Structure 1
Amino acid sequence: MSVLVCFHAHPDDEVFLTGGVMRLASDAGHRVVLVTATDGALGEFPDGLLDEGELLVDRRRSELEASAAALGVHRLEMLGYADSGMAGTPENARPEAFCNVDPAAAAGRLAKVLVEEGADVLTVYDPHGNYGHPDHVQVHVVGLLAADLAGITQVYEASVNRDRMMRLMKANPSWGDDATPEGVEEFGLPESEITTVVDVTSVMAAKTAAMRAHPRRSATSARSWRCPRRWWGRRSARSRSAGGAPVGRPVARWRRRSRCRSGSDPPSFDATVWLPYCGNHSVAIREGVS
């Protein structure tokens, strides 16, 4: 058994970038630990979501617990830092906001968990935090510091394939200009920098269940899931991504930290999941292709 630790900024972030990977690891018999940096107190939510007198932070904690259970998480740790809010908002300036805390101090707390668990693999975000959110950027900084403190040599940056996302938006006839996210040209990483693609098709039921545990997020992200299933099927039959997984299949995208390479990298196989669970070598997990 090996130990995978996923470090995220807010409750619900765990689903979108590492939800499938956590479930795969758990199903394979590995220990999965989820660490969330902030309380998520500044998240948007639809009217009527909260019960009378209920605080958003309490709701988000309970949602996170339900999501973690669906994803096979064995230990959940919330560091409890204050949500910094979206980039450019007044809340960014609060001294207690996660984006303003001493990275070394926060890294020490995360490193304590890594050492306690004997972690083999740590996931963080790319340097831009995928889309520039101050808390996501801080997760990258703090995560790498913690890895150094704890002696973790296997660190992956969970990210988004920017080029693939742009291709899919252009190919989808129902996606108009008004639906294009602002700053999409800076989302995630270019395809050329992504080293690892994880096919999570086999655990999409668990990932969907975890997503539904966050009704606030599901409501605000509904536009992203409007693409008909049959359209995905047609695309997957014709085009393939750089990592070997058919375009349209649910995949997680990663950049392996170059400083963490040990030995030779495994060859690339179609529909093969590579997860560096065991120190100086990698374990291949083959997924079925329908």
Structure 2
Amino acid sequence: MILVSFHAHPDDEALLTGGTLARAAAEGHRVVLVVATLGGAGLAAGPRGEALAARRHRELLASADALGCARVAVLGYDDSGLDGSHPAAERFADAPVEQAAHRLAAILREEHADVLTSYDVNGGYGHPDHLAVHRVGARAAELAGVPVVLEATVDRDSLRLLLRVLGLARRWLPALPLGDTVFTPRARITHSVDVRRYLPQKRAALRAHVSQAEGGRGPRTVATLLRLPGPLFARVAGREWFVQRGAPAGARDDVFATVRRGGSQ
């Protein structure tokens, strides 16, 4: 199996799909990581722009190595910023879908991809670049004829409960409104993947993104996750969720069996 995982910025791959990518690589599948931008507008201590993008590129390569990815590719767009207003020449959120989709489709064809991961219809928590990943990923899969598209997400119902129980709602994701336009309700999720065996790789990938564990305004998600003790980290990060395009809802654990069947349920 050849799995191409498409993300908006460095660190998204570790947060949303790190365990799944590590499992795929460990089982002998080829894993290719593609990012639309290098995250030059991200929150971090020190200079932003090209300097931050170069730093985050190095972190991305270290994360990919920890997860066992065989290739890392960058589409070359600029980070749009959390509110989509970051001044840049070629912001990903503004890119024509066809243009960006053709860039991604070229990689999918070159790799003969069996599966593409992108993001859910809400772009996770609504970041403009994440919304663009959803649109571009869907179109690129059509252009390249990729049979299985898995849209990375989070079980909104479980997240609400977990943050409430742990008292992390303001400490972990302080700017995240957990309303009905964030992530995906459990009823619409098609794959719930147990990645606890691959948490050492996922934690190592998160640890690689040093710039995203420091600076910025308030607590950082990467830093907070890395501070969690082992059992609690497993509870928070030990499962990853996907919505398979065109498939009926109903959580399944075996993403790889789905791929082997060519996407049929």
Distance in 1, Cα, partners of 2:148 & 2:169: 40
Contact 2:191/2:251 (8 A) holds in 1: no
What is the CA distance between 1:90 and its match in structure 2?
Answer: 2.8
Q: 1:12/1:175 Cα in 2 relative to 1: closer, same or farther (>3 Å)? A: closer
Distance in 1, Cα, partners of 2:171 & 2:263: 46
What is the CA distance between 1:153 and its match in structure 2?
Answer: 1.6
Distance in 1, Cα, partners of 2:40 & 2:22: 26
Distance in 2, Cα, partners of 1:176 & 1:39: 28
Distance in 1, Cα, partners of 2:45 & 2:236: 30
How many pairs are equivalent?
255
Q: 1:40/1:198 Cα in 2 relative to 1: closer, same or farther (>3 Å)? A: same
Percent identity, aligned pairs only, is: 40
One-letter amino acid of the structure 2 residue matched with residue 56 of structure 1: L
Q: 1:57/1:282 Cα in 2 relative to 1: closer, same or farther (>3 Å)? A: same
TM-score normalised by the chain length of structure 2 = 0.86
Distance in 2, Cα, partners of 1:177 & 1:211: 20
Provide, for residues 95-117 of structure 1, a one-character-per-residue CA deviation record: whole Å limited to 9, x for no partner: 62111111101101111111111
What is the CA distance between 1:176 and its match in structure 2?
Answer: 6.4
TM-score normalised by the chain length of structure 1 = 0.79
Superposition pairs of residues 111-130 of structure 1, within 5 angstroms: 111-130=105-124
Structure-1 residue corresponding to 2:183:
188
User: Is 1:131–2:125 an aligned residue pair?
Assistant: yes
Contact 1:11/1:60 (8 A) holds in 2: yes
User: Is 1:15–2:14 an aligned residue pair?
Assistant: yes
Provide, for residues 139-178 of structure 1, a one-character-per-residue CA deviation record: whole Å limited to 9, x for no partner: 1100000000001120011001111011112212x43667
User: Is 1:175–2:168 an aligned residue pair?
Assistant: yes
Partner SS, residue 280 of structure 1: coil
Structure-1 residue corresponding to 2:239:
251
Distance in 1, Cα, partners of 2:250 & 2:182: 27
One-letter amino acid of the structure 2 residue matched with residue 252 of structure 1: E
User: Is 1:28–2:31 an aligned residue pair?
Assistant: no
Contact 1:11/1:36 (8 A) holds in 2: yes
What is the CA distance between 1:39 and its match in structure 2?
Answer: 2.2
Structure-2 residue corresponding to 1:223:
224
Distance in 2, Cα, partners of 1:100 & 1:231: 39
Contact 1:108/1:146 (8 A) holds in 2: yes
* 1:280 pairs with one of 255, 262, 265: 262
What is the CA distance between 1:230 and its match in structure 2?
Answer: 5.3
Q: Larger radius of gyration, structure 1 or 2?
A: 1
Distance in 2, Cα, partners of 1:74 & 1:7: 14
Partner SS, residue 259 of structure 2: strand
Q: Which has the higher contact order (CA 8 A, sep 6+)?
A: 2
Structure-2 residue corresponding to 1:146:
140
What is the CA distance between 1:229 and its match in structure 2?
Answer: 4.8
Provide, for residues 207-239 of structure 1, a one-character-per-residue CA deviation record: whole Å limited to 9, x for no partner: 111111101223322335555555678xxxxxx
Provide, for residues 62-106 of structure 1, a one-character-per-residue CA deviation record: whole Å limited to 9, x for no partner: 11111101111001101110111112x5327x5621111111011
Distance in 2, Cα, partners of 1:232 & 1:82: 32
Structure-2 residue corresponding to 1:64:
60
Q: 1:45/1:151 Cα in 2 relative to 1: closer, same or farther (>3 Å)? A: same
Structure-1 residue corresponding to 2:209:
214
Distance in 2, Cα, partners of 1:30 & 1:230: 28
User: Is 1:157–2:151 an aligned residue pair?
Assistant: yes
Q: 1:248/1:175 Cα in 2 relative to 1: closer, same or farther (>3 Å)? A: closer
Aligned-CA RMSD value: 2.7
Any stretches of 5+ residues in structure 1 without a counterpart? 234-246, 284-290
Contact 1:129/1:137 (8 A) holds in 2: yes
Superposition pairs of residues 229-268 of structure 1, within 5 angstroms: 229=230, 250-258=238-246
What is the CA distance between 1:133 and its match in structure 2?
Answer: 0.5
One-letter amino acid of the structure 2 residue matched with residue 273 of structure 1: D
Distance in 1, Cα, partners of 2:80 & 2:43: 13
Any stretches of 5+ residues in structure 2 without a counterpart? 215-219
Contact 2:207/2:226 (8 A) holds in 1: no
